Amino acid sequence: MKTNGKNRIKGNGQTSQPLRVEFTHSTAKAVAIAGSFNDWRPGCMPMMALRQGRWLKELDPLPGRYEHLIVAEGKRMPDPSAKATVPNPYGGVNSLGIVSSR
């Protein structure tokens, strides 16, 4: 996850930076994001297919710490662009994104 440099004002008066999740998978037909911000339900957060196997999703969560995984073709995997990971209870790791308020 990375910020795109533009702050957004939330309904509660807080501002945060939108997060862009970018992923590349040359053969995937469907890619989504599952995380603590969507109750780990990838079906509610599909990524948009660009070209040449690139996928994109822009998120606008409230400030806080969020764990997430990329779901490509039904297989969950850490986000390769995440700056940090944390252990998950299944013996793997989740990607960690931190949204700060501005």
Of the pLDDT bands very low, low, confident and very high (cuts 50, 70, 90), residue 15 is low
Of the pLDDT bands very low, low, confident and very high (cuts 50, 70, 90), residue 9 is very low
Whole-angstrom distance between the N-terminal and C-terminal Cα of the chain? Answer: 17
Of the pLDDT bands very low, low, confident and very high (cuts 50, 70, 90), residue 3 is very low
Task: Let me know: does 32 contact 42? Beta carbons within 8 Å.
Answer: yes
Residue 45: pLDDT over 70: yes
User: What domains are defined for the chain?
Assistant: 2-99 (2.60.40.10)
Write down the pTM of the prediction.
Answer: 0.79
Burial of 33 (0-12, 13-18, 19+ CB in 10 A): buried
